[in-house]
């Protein structure tokens, strides 16, 4: 059984999703290879002769590229079984299976992919939990996401392109140095239920911890691969506060020169001031936080459970302790009024963020993907919505806001992620 795992985009980082998928497949005795089109391009010869082709779609930006790869595989290797996996495979399972693939993995992918591979190789399985077949999808059947625990293992990074092929412009800007950046996670999912967030849509508030020894060994392997700075790509690092600080302490003891960043909410910054002081000493250089927009109306609309006052207090505190803030925004959203843009400029100036904000954050726009909890809100239902296969385009009630957005919009640039975090 020859298996190809394909990644198209993971926010410009080395693709963690296919690295984690590969390990149990290799241990089960399968011949596994990978293709990361983000750095390798489309290598057609890798497609030929494969029995199972699994395409990773962890982010919304990977969905359409993943579909194009599925079409190519179907054309070049029609005997291959094609499946999708990853967060947006869970969200879009019934839109992918049957039309673009032979199956789709819902939820955690390691065990379902391995069982699917065994099933296809002749070792017939009575049940394939988490695997939505094309036949089921065509009938409109919906299956629950596979949310097992104790299934995680050390990612097979030796299969992936080297870390130096994944430069991170904004990280280098914040650290004022050229770094070799790696990424890992200490947990999957998120306890919080921000309405725009695809982590909430896929995990429903569940969190699955990655065992400490797996994280530590993964980081050792990344360091061996040349990594000088580590990004924790968790939706929120403080989903597992004590888990995370224990890991940071051990990493700092083993790799005292290694530096870190992670993502967390404003309220967690305020709740964990003493912990953040220690984290700074352990090598944490900056924190990414989704500030959304400095407007109570916007924060309430997306169920952020925080306030503009909280945001400003968190910014002040991080400045006091010399941890940089990497703020992200949903600059264009249905609740922002034209006059709010002046307030936004003042917010940036008053909080001394002008030299820190990634310029791409000034042109981010709310994505209304299918499956988004926001679609149940009355304020969204009232919008002029245009339906597409995987999302809805929306028009702002004030046409001037949309005109400004399209005037500001720059062409997509390779490696630039126009999104609020690494899990969208």
pLDDT of 260:
98
What is the pLDDT, as a whole number, of residue 408? 86
Q: Which of 129, 96, 95, 127 is nearest to 110 (CA)?
A: 129
List the CATH number of the domain containing 403.
Answer: 3.80.30.20
CA atoms within 13 A on the CB side of 62: 30
Q: What is the pLDDT of residue 171?
A: 93
Instruction: Mark which of 103, 138, 173 sits at the end of a domain.
Output: 138
> Do 191 and 308 belong to one domain?
yes
Walk along the chain (424 residues) in steps of 10 and give the mean pLDDT of each run: 96 96 98 97 95 96 95 97 97 97 97 97 93 96 92 97 95 95 96 89 93 98 98 93 95 98 96 96 96 94 93 96 94 94 93 90 90 93 96 96 89 56 62
Question: Is the residue at 143 inside a domain?
Answer: no
Are 178 and 53 within 8 A, CB to CB? no
Domain holding 6, by residue range, is: 2-138
Q: How many residues does the chain have?
A: 424
Q: Within a domain: residue 115?
A: yes
State whether 33 and 176 are in the same domain.
no
Query: H/E element holding 253?
Result: helix 241-254
Residues 291 and 354 in one domain: yes
When divided into structural domains, the chain yields a total of: 2
Q: Is position 423 within any domain?
A: no
Rounded-to-integer distance, Cα 181 and Cα 40, Å: 18
40 plus 102 within the same structural domain: yes
Q: Specify if 154 maps to a domain.
A: no
Is 156 domain-assigned?
Answer: no
Residues 273 and 358 in one domain: yes
175: in domain: yes
* Residues 237, 105 share a domain: no
Same-domain pairing of 116 and 203? no
Those residues whose C-beta lies under 8 Å from the C-beta of residue 257, and which sit 6 or more positions away, are 228, 283
CATH number of the domain residue 77 falls in: 3.40.50.280
Q: Are residues 248 and 395 in the same domain?
A: yes
The confidence score (pLDDT) of residue 94 equals 97
Please indicate, yes or no, whether residues 126 and 183 belong to a single structural domain of this protein.
no
Q: How many CB atoms lie within 10 A of CB 418?
A: 17
Question: What's the pLDDT at 421?
Answer: 57
Within a domain: 52: yes
190 phi and psi, to 5 degrees?
Answer: -160, 140
Residue 371 backbone class (left: φ over 0; alpha: ψ -120 to 50; beta: rest): left
167 lies in the same domain as 203:
yes
Which tens digit of pLDDT belongs to each residue from 339-380?
A: 999 999 999 999 999 999 988 888 889 999 999 999 999 999
Asked if 328 and 287 sit in the same domain, the reply is yes
pLDDT for the residue 38: 95
Positive or negative CA dihedral for 249, 253, 254, 259?
positive
Contact criterion met (CB below 8 Å) for 235 and 421: yes
**123 and 206 fall within a common domain:** no
Give the CA distances from residue 158 to residues 128, 258, 339, in Å, rounded to whole numbers and listed in that order.
28, 21, 52
Residue 242 belongs to a domain = yes
Structural tokens at position 28? 């089960």
Is residue 234 a contact partner of residue 187, using CB atoms and an 8 Å limit? yes
Structural tokens at position 91: 């969200």
């Amino acid at each position: 059984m020859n298996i190809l795992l394909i990644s198209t985009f993971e926010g410009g980082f080395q693709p963690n999703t296919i690295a984690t998928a590969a390990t149990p497949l290799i241990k089960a005795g399968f011949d596994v290879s990978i293709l990361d089109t983000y750095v390798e391009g489309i290598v057609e010869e890798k497609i030929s002769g494969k029995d199972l082709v699994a395409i990773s779609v962890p982010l919304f930006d990977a969905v359409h590229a993943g579909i194009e790869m599925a079409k190519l595989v179907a054309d070049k290797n029609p005997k291959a079984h094609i499946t999708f996996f990853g967060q947006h495979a869970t969200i879009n399972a019934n839109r992918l299976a049957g039309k673009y693939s032979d199956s789709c993995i819902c939820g955690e992918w390691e065990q379902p992919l391995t069982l699917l591979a065994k099933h296809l190789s002749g070792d017939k399985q009575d049940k394939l939990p988490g695997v939505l077949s094309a036949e089921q999808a065509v009938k409109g059947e919906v299956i629950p996401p596979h949310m097992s625990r104790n299934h995680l293992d050390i990612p097979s990074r030796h299969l992936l392109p080297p870390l130096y092929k994944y430069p991170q412009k904004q990280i280098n800007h914040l650290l004022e140095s050229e770094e070799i950046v790696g990424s890992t996670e200490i947990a999957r999912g998120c306890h919080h239920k921000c309405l725009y967030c695809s982590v909430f849509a896929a995990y429903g508030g569940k969190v699955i911890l990655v065992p400490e020894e797996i994280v530590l060994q993964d980081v050792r392997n990344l360091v061996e691969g040349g990594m000088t700075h580590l990004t924790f790509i968790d939706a929120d690092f403080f989903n597992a506060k004590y888990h995370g600080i224990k890991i940071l302490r051990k990493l700092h003891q083993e790799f005292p020169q290694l530096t870190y960043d992670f993502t967390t909410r404003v309220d967690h910054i305020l709740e964990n001031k003493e912990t953040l002081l220690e984290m700074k000493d352990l090598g944490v250089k900056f924190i990414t936080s989704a500030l959304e927009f400095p407007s109570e109306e916007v924060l309430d609309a997306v169920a952020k459970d925080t306030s503009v006052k909280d945001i400003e207090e968190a910014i002040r505190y991080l400045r006091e302790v010399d941890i940089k803030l990497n703020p992200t925004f949903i600059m264009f959203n249905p609740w922002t009024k034209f006059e709010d843009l002046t307030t936004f400029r003042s917010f940036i100036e008053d909080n001394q963020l002008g030299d820190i904000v990634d310029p791409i954050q000034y042109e981010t726009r709310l994505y209304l993907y299918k499956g988004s909890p926001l679609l149940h809100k009355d304020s969204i239902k009232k919008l002029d919505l245009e339906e597409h296969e995987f999302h809805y385009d929306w028009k702002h009630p004030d046409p001037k806001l949309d005109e400004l957005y399209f005037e500001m919009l720059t062409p997509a640039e390779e490696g630039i992620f126009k999104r609020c975090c690494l899990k969208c």
